[in-house]
Amino acid sequence: MSEASIAACVKWVDLHPGVDPATALPEPSAHSWGFSEADRAALEVALRLAEARGTEAVVVCAGPLEARRCLAELAASGPARAVLVEHDHQSGPGTSGVVLAGVLGPRHLDVDLVVCGDMSNGRGSGSVPAVVAHHLGFAQALGLIELDPGPGTLRAVRRLDGARREVVSVDGPAVLSVEGSVAALRRAPLGAATSAAMTSEAVEVVRTDPHHAPERPTRVVPWRPPPRAVPAPHEADAFSRIVALTGAMADHSPPRSVEGTPEMAAELILEQLRTWGYLARDGEQT
Amino acid sequence: MTARGAQGNEVVGPLGPTYPAISFETRMDSVEFRVHERPHIVVDDTICRDCSVRGCITACPANLFIPTSDGGILFNYEQCFECGTCYLVCNEEGAISWSYPEGGHGVVFHSS
Amino acid sequence: MTETTEFDAVVVGAGPAGAAAAFELARAGRSVALVERGPFPGSKNMYGGVVYGRILDTLIPRWWEEMPVQRWVTRRQTMLMTGHQALTIDYRTDTWGRPPYNGATAYRPDFDSWLADKAVQQGATLLCSTTVTGLLVEGGRTVGVRTDRPDGDLRAGVVIAADGVNSFLAKEAGLYGEVSADNYTVGVKETIALPREVIDERFAVRGDHGVDIEIIGCTGEVPGGGFLYTNADTVAVGLVLSLPALAAGGSRPEELLAALKAHPAVAPLVEGGEVKEYSAHVIPEAGYDMMPELVGDGLLVAGDAAAMCLAAGVWLEGVNFAIGSGAAAGRAAHAALRSGDTTAAGLAGYRTRLESSFVLADHRKLREAPHLVMGDLAQRQLPGLACDVAEAVFQVTNPDPKPGLVRIARKQIARHGLKLPTVARETIRALRAYG
């Protein structure tokens, strides 16, 4: 058994939240709490990866204690451990991502691959995979639609805009997020399902320490690049001023294709943004 | 009977138009189905071609049996109530293979 | 090597019958698995609206304090309807709005989950999302069930099939004779959202009081009936339709339902509401005459699986019969396990228990009633005749003098193509059936 294991992170959500058609008020469902298809696919991927690498899979959920029974039923499908991090999404210390990162990190579970579902039915921000990756210092491969769980370097396919696809290779510690179609979670064998129905004790409950957890952000705003200042046109007549303002007759740099390392690509993008005036050059004030 | 609800027309009762009827699609959209990839009901419509009754077409409450122009039956299991009407009214041996969906799948009622 | 899991008893189906059976077995200290194919109990179930809860007295003291009720039925109506007329018998009493109550409307996913949870509290193991695919049979006797899970054999001393109207288990065990569509109806229902205050106003009820209306004459050419009842903030309206007639063509269920909703007696009650859920389910309509053998070697059948649904016109009941039969099955299974004889002979106490309770007593007494209700007279002639008589009685015909009641009755009976001896004979038949 190798040391680092593979974690599937799942979120306990209302799978069928209702809306009262007469009042348009949301109605939480009484019986439909569980885990989304994407989260179930994440667990299946974690199980397959663990089998291919001869390591253990663990399923982790940050949520209230009531999630324990559902998590036990989910965990009957085969992960070696199931951990419920007791956490209140609304008022708990830190966000789910931060709390999960704390448990997944070297002081606790010490995993080297984290698999999440890419969409949550819980109307969250969708930021958990990125936040976990950031806190653990892992690479990210998010929104995967295909994944080869074989041993060695992971190869996966990501969905891009405009029906494009990107093939990514994942080496070393990483956070993956998968769509629900990537894998169907295997069914729990009858014996395991029966045990889970009898008791949820197989699920370890971890309580986060409110004193050591990072503060929740008090205000979250989207980042927008600063506007580029365009000098007023000096041309004499209105037509010329319009032409100058719209840049209709100006020369445009044609699109170019560049091949290179990710670092090089990032540097080229930054340089172009500086050229256009969206980013300040070093030492310059925006 | 004066209603023509299935086509989504206005329902006209003896008192005149009373309320807009919902389309069949809207009606079925109100129901949750956790569809499994494997069909739990399979219709062998080579048998249906010889059937003169075809009770399934009018009786299925989910309207899942659609006659095709070439005399067959088009069937889709995805929005099935799992009620059993179709196999009970079917008088052609072997035309409908009926079972329940895999555990946890299929129709899920919430306010019925 | 297939791993098997063993229990004293396995109950298939966590509806009211299965939950009651598991409850009684667990209460008696037996290990019992309650296996449900839906993601939660009640997720596959719908009905015509009323739970008569007194049968719960034996299981859960003061059940009314915790049962998930939409409204307590304090107003019970039976409506005879033609295309443009309606004659309603309307009974109301606030007594039914106080303990121990009479009937309650409830959502089946809520009610069934609650009752199954009661069984779990007694110690039963509720296993959801698990479809039973067949019986395990050894030497001609049932020794468990096969589920669709990996390593999915579940062995047990007794299997209780509470697997609903289609009961493939009872059929597999050969307990059913020939299965005919004639014995079945299909129920379709819309749950329609309306603000609580609007329901209170339209149905003239307050608080948690509600209305249940059974309707006959609202199904066009298809024999059947209708129902309309109030939940807290929804109204449910539905139809029960004979399968063979529906299959014979003409009308589709939702078309007939739309026509009922447009009827002048119904439209003002439901209009403006939005359909929150549409549902359908098959009903074992023929009662006593379609019941299977209730006991096999190692096997008991309860609830709809045993056709214990009472569709007798003025009485439309099912959940109470399911609970009654389920509880009896649980007790009989426990007794058989204690005596060490779970063959059909050892389990025969089940039938005796049912015969001495309302479950089979009502069904046997009313065995003619379903046929009468679905018959030509009740379906085609009675609603029109009753409505026309009412119209002739209540319509003021000035300047003509009033006709006498006897003359009205004679005239209308003749107008409806009936003969007095026929009416007399059918009345006696009905009195016998319902006596």
Domains of chain B: 31-109 (3.30.70.20)
Could C149 and A22 be called an inter-chain contact, meaning their C-beta atoms sit closer than 8 Å?
A: no
Q: What is the pLDDT of residue A152?
A: 79
pLDDT at B36: 94
Question: Do residue B18 and residue C267 have CB atoms under 8 angstroms apart?
Answer: yes
- Please state which of the ranges A128-132, A241-245, B71-75 shows the lowest mean pLDDT: A241-245
The pLDDT value recorded for residue C1 is 37
Model confidence at A258, in pLDDT bands (50, 70, 90)? confident
SS3 B77: coil
C-alpha C307/C-alpha A41 separation (Å) is: 41
User: Which residue from A22, A188, A198 is facing C125, i.e. has the nearest CB?
Assistant: A198
Query: So what's the pLDDT on residue A260?
Result: 86
pLDDT at A213: 55
Residue C92 above 70 pLDDT? yes
Work out the minimum CA distance from B49 to partner chain C, whole angstroms. 17
Least confident span in A240-249, A276-285, C242-251: A276-285
| DSSP β-bridge partners for residue C315 | C312
**Is the predicted pLDDT of residue B5 greater than 60, yes or no?**
no
pLDDT at A2: 45
Gap between the Cα atoms of C261 and C254, Å rounded: 10
> In whole angstroms, what is the distance from residue A120 CA to residue A127 CA?
10
Looking at residue B6, its pLDDT comes to 42
Residue B15: its pLDDT value, please?
A: 45
pLDDT at C335 over 80: yes
pLDDT tens by residue, C385-427: 999 999 999 999 999 999 899 999 999 999 999 998 988 999 9
Chain C contact for A25 (CB, 8 A cutoff): no
User: Hey, what amino acid is at C346?
Assistant: G
In this prediction, what percent of chain C has a pLDDT beyond 70? 99
- State pLDDT tens for residues B33-70: 999 999 999 999 999 998 988 999 999 999 999 999 99
- Chains A–B, number of C-beta pairs less than 8 Å apart: 12
Helices (H) and strands (E) in chain C, counts: 15, 19
Mean pLDDT score of chain A, rounded to an integer? 86
Cβ contact C279–B53 (<8 Å): no
For the cut 90, the answer to whether the pLDDT of residue C219 exceeds it is: yes
Q: Is the peptide bond before A217 cis (omega within 30 degrees of 0)?
A: no
Inspect the interface and report whether the beta carbons of A21 and C193 lie closer than 8 Å.
yes
Match 């698990």 to its residue by tokens: C130
What subunits touch chain A, counting only 3 or more CB pairs under 8 A? Answer: B, C
Judge: B32–A16 Cβ closer than 8 Å, yes or no: yes
Q: What is the mean pLDDT of residues B91-101?
A: 92
Domains in chain A: boundaries: 6-207, 222-286
The whole-angstrom distance between B79's CA and the closest CA on chain C is 11
pLDDT at A285 over 70: no
Across the range C256-281, mean pLDDT stands at 95
pLDDT grade, residue A207 (50/70/90)? Answer: confident
Mean pLDDT to the nearest integer, C157-170: 98
Name the 3-class secondary structure at B103: coil
The ipTM of this complex is 0.95
CB contact under 8 A, B108 and A187: no
Best probe of the B interface among C191, C240, C282, by most B CBs < 10 A, is C282
pLDDT in tens, A83-124: 999 988 776 667 888 889 989 988 889 999 999 998 777 777
Of residues B1, B30, B103, nearest to C259 (C-beta): B1
Contacts of B89 in chain C (CB under 8 A): 181, 243-244, 246-247
Note the pLDDT of residue A212: 56
Over residues C255-275, mean pLDDT: 94
What mean pLDDT, rounded, does chain C reach? 95
Of B21, B63, B102, the CB nearest to C252: B63
Is 2.40.30.20 the CATH classification of the domain at A6-207?
A: no
Yes or no, beta carbons of C150 and A187 under 8 Å apart: yes
User: Residue A221: pLDDT above 60?
Assistant: yes
DSSP A2-55: -SSEEEEEE--EESS-EE-TTT--EE--SS-EE--HHHHHHHHHHHHHHHHHT-
Q: Max CA-CA distance within chain A?
A: 86
Of C39, C46, C149, the CB nearest to B112: C46
Say whether C234 and B111 touch across the interface (CB within 8 A): yes
Closest Cβ–Cβ partner in C128, C255, C280 for B5: C255
Residue B24 contacts C where some CB pair is shorter than 8 Å = yes
Span C271-287, mean pLDDT? 94
Q: What confidence category does residue C382 fall into, taking pLDDT thresholds of 50, 70 and 90?
A: very high
What is the nearest CA distance from B33 to chain C, expressed in angstroms? Answer: 11
* Interchain CB contact of A24 with C (< 8 Å): no
Q: How far is CA C144 from CA A194, C18, C51, C61, C351, in A?
A: 15, 15, 31, 32, 21
How far apart CA C51 and CA C55 sit, in angstroms, is: 10
For chain C, list residues whose CB is within 8 angstroms of any CB belonging to chain A: 3, 5, 33, 39-40, 42-43, 109-110, 113, 125-130, 147-154, 193-195, 233, 273-276
Q: Give pLDDT, residue A119.
A: 79
Euclidean distance between CA atoms A40 and A46, whole angstroms: 10
Cα distances (Å, whole numbers) of residue B110 to A28, A208, C55, C261, C298: 11, 35, 25, 22, 34
Determine, for residues A198 and C110 on separate chains, whether the beta-carbon distance falls below 8 Å: no
Answer whether residue C49 shows pLDDT above 70.
Answer: yes
Amino acid at C226: G
pLDDT of residue A249: 81
User: For chain B, what is the mean pLDDT?
Assistant: 86
- pLDDT at residue A125 in the model: 77
The pLDDT-based confidence of A73 (bands split at 50, 70, 90) is very high
DSSP C236-266: EEEEEEEHHHHHTSS--HHHHHHHHHHSTTT
Say whether residue C46 is in contact with chain B using an 8 A CB cutoff. Answer: yes
Furthest-apart CA atoms within chain B: distance in Å: 47
Residues in B touching C256 (Cβ below 8 Å): 1, 3
Under a CB-based contact definition with an 8 Å cutoff, are residues C246 and C202 in contact? no
Residues of chain A with Cβ-Cβ distance to B29 below 8 Å are none
